[in-house]
């Protein structure tokens, strides 16, 4: 298993697995292209295959938290404007590989990389019904700091979760 930077040729496949997991709430290939051009990092989790090729089993997009997001509730009250905050815009593992520790591995990789880059906080949105995702994030030190109503295309609400990052 290794974690690598996504290349542009991966995007069509990523849009497909994104659709399989998130359905109507999925980012399409156009949005993924935009993220490809503007991110802190855009990574894929790959497993080696027999014929020396690789299979992508998950990916994540991490961006700098936008100033306009910081000025809105529920982040307004946190006074984040003088901190370097990142946002996990997307995070998924293909269903077949759930429950094997890959999600935790990819999340820890992201936190370590953000710490190396001297980010002090990382935030994300997660569907309020996504028990598995919420459990993963809580187990890695994220806490729920607010809720965004009808955040998703489907009308579902999101929790906003945040973790403080330590760096030397």
Is residue 141 at the binding interface for ligand COA, with CB under 6 A as the rule?
no
Task: Out of 8, 55, 132, 143, point to the residue binding ligand COA (CB under 6 A).
Answer: 132
Coil, helix or strand for 11? helix
Is residue 63 at the binding interface for ligand COA, with CB under 6 A as the rule?
no
Is residue 21 at the binding interface for ligand COA, with CB under 6 A as the rule?
yes
DSSP code at position 8: G
Query: Which residue in the shown chain puts its C-beta closest to ligand COA?
Result: 103
* CA distance linking residue 30 with residue 141, whole number of Å: 32
Task: Out of 62, 110, 126, 165, point to the residue binding ligand COA (CB under 6 A).
Answer: 126
Is residue 131 at the binding interface for ligand COA, with CB under 6 A as the rule?
yes
Compute the least distance from the CB of residue 18 to ligand COA, in Å. 9
Compute the least distance from the CB of residue 79 to ligand COA, in Å. 25
- Strand segments, DSSP code E, in 50-142 are 54-64, 85-93, 121-127
Residues 94-123 that bind ligand COA (CB under 6 A): 98-104
Beta bridge pairs of residue 43: 5, 60
| Type and span of the H or E element at 158 | strand 158-164
* CA distance linking residue 95 with residue 21, whole number of Å: 7
Number of residues that bind ligand COA (CB under 6 A): 19
Coil, helix or strand for 143? strand
Is residue 55 at the binding interface for ligand COA, with CB under 6 A as the rule?
no
* CA distance linking residue 90 with residue 108, whole number of Å: 15
Judge contact between 40 and 165, C-beta under 8 A. Answer: no
Q: Which is nearer to ligand COA, 133 or 141 (CB)?
A: 133
Is residue 53 at the binding interface for ligand COA, with CB under 6 A as the rule?
no
Compute the least distance from the CB of residue 22 to ligand COA, in Å. 7
Judge contact between 49 and 70, C-beta under 8 A. Answer: no
Contact residues toward ligand COA (CB under 6 A) are 21, 91-93, 98-104, 126, 130-133, 135-136, 139
């Amino acid at each position: 298993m290794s974690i690598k930077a996504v290349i542009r040729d991966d995007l069509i496949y990523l849009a497909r697995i994104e659709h399989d997991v998130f359905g109507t709430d999925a980012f399409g290939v156009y949005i993924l292209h935009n993220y490809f051009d503007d991110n802190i990092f855009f990574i894929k989790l790959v497993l080696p295959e027999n014929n020396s090729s690789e299979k992508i089993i998950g990916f994540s997009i991490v961006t700098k938290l936008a100033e306009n997001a910081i000025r809105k509730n529920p982040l307004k009250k946190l006074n984040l404007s003088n901190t370097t905050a990142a946002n996990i815009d997307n995070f998924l593992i293909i269903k077949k590989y759930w429950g094997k520790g890959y999600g935790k591995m990819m999340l820890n990789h992201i936190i370590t990389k953000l710490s190396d880059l001297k980010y002090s906080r990382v935030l994300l949105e997660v569907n309020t019904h996504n028990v598995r995702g919420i459990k993963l994030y809580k187990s890695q030190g994220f806490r729920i700091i607010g809720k965004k109503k009808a955040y998703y295309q489907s009308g579902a609400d999101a929790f906003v979760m945040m973790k403080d990052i330590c760096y030397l």
